[in-house]
């Protein structure tokens, strides 16, 4: 056997590339290969899709046996491909699209029939498929049902019902009368009901227009709740501390009740005395104001007492242009060294 380096490198590279492509394709399409045990793919024609979508379930007798692979338009029909596993599909098998939930989810129901096997390459025709609702079939069924009604027997039934109600108790007649009145009331309020529905539509439109703002409010509320959740421990500690403080204050008041009562009584007496002498206190404050003002003037220029005595110097005398004590007894308004002029 030749070593790898002695072989044709181009051929080796091509073979390796082909193997890589085959492995990749096998891996990608492994769910569609029958020998991997993922089931067999069948197809069926339907008059309409009826809301059936890929990945919907395929059921037999209420048991899931596979999934819908694709739903595509094929001319005036709908081609549905589906894969089933561990179930025999006969050559007379019928398929129908059924409603799975009240929200409108659908599933594909199979009813296996036939002695032979359904070929995967052979599509189930539309004659063996059924959709949950077809308007044309409904009208045809309604026409057939109405045509089969025996009008004479129906008239006799109404006559018998009328004869039975003729001798019925009064409360039954009152009930029918009440229902008739209710129907008339609802009919008379048709305009109001129309207005109510219009207003409801307007409210819905307003909410739809303000959807972004509502989402922002909800988002801000979520942020607030998140922050409160993050601060839960701190808030809990604050509430616990407040509760403990309240307990301590309650205990303090209870422990010192005997001492606090006389103190509060004396405080009340002092308050009464101050209340009775409020006029005297006001007069005292008025008389104290000049004294406080003079005291402030005497000590306001520095860390000393400053006063003014008039009469120690002679009165104003002018001799030959010389002025002696020109200001007389006029007191200065500030210290001379403060650079403030005299009056």
Rounded Cα–Cα distance for residues 224 and 229 (Å):
8
- Per-residue confidence (pLDDT) for residue 122, from 0 to 100: 87
Rounded Cα–Cα distance for residues 131 and 78 (Å):
11
Q: What is the mean pLDDT of residues 238-245?
A: 89
What is the percent of the chain with per-residue pLDDT over 90, rounded to a whole number?
12
The verdict on residue 89 lying in a domain is yes
Contact 67, 83 (CB under 8 A): yes
Per-residue pLDDT of 135-163, as tens digits, reads 556 666 776 776 677 777 877 777 777 77
User: In which residue are the tokens 């103190």 written?
Assistant: 263
Task: Between 250 and 183, name the one with better pLDDT.
Answer: 250
Element (H, E) at 79: strand 77-84
Residue 338's pLDDT band (cuts 50, 70, 90): very low
Q: What is the mean pLDDT of residues 282-310?
A: 78
CB neighbourhood size of 221 (10 A): 10
Rounded Cα–Cα distance for residues 247 and 168 (Å):
75
Rounded Cα–Cα distance for residues 312 and 308 (Å):
10
Task: Between 101 and 88, name the one with better pLDDT.
Answer: 88
Share the mean pLDDT of the chain: 78
- Per-residue confidence (pLDDT) for residue 59, from 0 to 100: 93
Residue 311's pLDDT band (cuts 50, 70, 90): low
Residue 328 makes CB contacts below 8 A (sequence gap 6+) with 315, 316
Whether residue 339 has pLDDT greater than 50:
no
147: helix, strand or coil = helix
Radius of gyration of the chain from Cα atoms? Answer: 53
Q: Identify the domain boundary among 106, 136, 166.
A: 136
Q: What is the mean pLDDT of residues 221-239?
A: 84
- Per-residue confidence (pLDDT) for residue 70, from 0 to 100: 92
106: helix, strand or coil = strand
Residues in the chain: 343
- Per-residue confidence (pLDDT) for residue 4, from 0 to 100: 56
Residues 50 and 27 placed together within one structural domain of the fold: no
* Domain housing 324: 279-335
Residue 100's pLDDT band (cuts 50, 70, 90): confident
Residues 71 and 108 placed together within one structural domain of the fold: yes
The verdict on residue 216 lying in a domain is no
Residues 93 and 115 placed together within one structural domain of the fold: yes
Q: What is the mean pLDDT of residues 69-75?
A: 90
Residues 20 and 68 placed together within one structural domain of the fold: no
Whether residue 284 has pLDDT greater than 80:
yes
Residues 53 and 25 placed together within one structural domain of the fold: no
Q: Identify the domain boundary among 103, 136, 169.
A: 136
- Per-residue confidence (pLDDT) for residue 333, from 0 to 100: 55
Q: What is the mean pLDDT of residues 273-297?
A: 83
User: How many domains are contained in the chain?
Assistant: 3
The verdict on residue 241 lying in a domain is no
The verdict on residue 189 lying in a domain is no
Residue 182's pLDDT band (cuts 50, 70, 90): confident
The verdict on residue 10 lying in a domain is yes
Q: Identify the domain boundary among 85, 105, 136.
A: 136
Q: What is the mean pLDDT of residues 29-51?
A: 74
The verdict on residue 237 lying in a domain is no
Q: What is the mean pLDDT of residues 97-109?
A: 84
- Per-residue confidence (pLDDT) for residue 325, from 0 to 100: 66
Q: What is the mean pLDDT of residues 298-308?
A: 75
- Per-residue confidence (pLDDT) for residue 257, from 0 to 100: 78
């Amino acid at each position: 056997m030749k070593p790898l380096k002695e072989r044709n490198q181009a051929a080796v590279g091509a073979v390796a590339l082909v193997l890589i492509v085959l492995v990749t394709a096998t891996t990608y399409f492994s769910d569609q290969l029958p020998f991997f045990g993922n089931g067999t793919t069948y197809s069926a024609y339907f008059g309409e899709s009826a809301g059936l979508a890929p990945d919907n379930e395929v059921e037999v007798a209420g048991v899931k046996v596979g999934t819908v692979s694709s739903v595509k338009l094929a001319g005036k029909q709908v081609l549905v491909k589906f894969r089933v596993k561990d179930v025999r599909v006969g050559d007379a098998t019928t398929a129908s699209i059924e409603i799975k939930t009240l929200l409108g989810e659908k599933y594909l129901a199979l009813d296996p029939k036939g002695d032979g096997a359904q070929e995967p390459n052979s599509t189930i025709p539309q004659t063996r498929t059924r959709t949950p609702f077809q308007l044309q079939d409904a009208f045809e069924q309604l026409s057939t049902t109405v045509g089969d009604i025996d009008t004479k027997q129906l008239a006799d039934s109404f006559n018998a019902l009328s004869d039975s109600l003729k001798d019925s108790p009064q409360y039954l007649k009152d009930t029918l009368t009440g229902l008739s009145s209710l129907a008339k009331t609802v009919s008379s309020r048709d305009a109001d009901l129309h207005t109510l529905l219009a207003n409801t539509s307007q409210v819905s439109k307003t909410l739809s227009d303000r959807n972004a703002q509502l989402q922002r409010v909800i988002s801000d509320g979520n942020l607030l709740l998140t922050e409160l959740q993050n601060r839960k421990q701190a808030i809990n500690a604050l509430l616990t501390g407040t509760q403990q403080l309240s307990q301590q204050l309650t205990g303090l008041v209870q422990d010192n009740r005997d001492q606090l009562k006389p103190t509060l009584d004396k405080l009340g007496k002092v308050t009464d005395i101050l209340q009775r002498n409020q006029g005297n206190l006001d007069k005292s404050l008025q008389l104290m104001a000049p004294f406080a003002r003079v005291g402030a003037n005497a000590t306001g220029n520095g860390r000393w007492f400053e006063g003014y005595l008039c009469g120690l110097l002679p009165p104003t005398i002018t001799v030959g242009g010389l002025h002696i004590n020109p200001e007389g007894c006029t007191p200065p308004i500030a210290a001379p060294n403060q650079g403030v002029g005299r009056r």
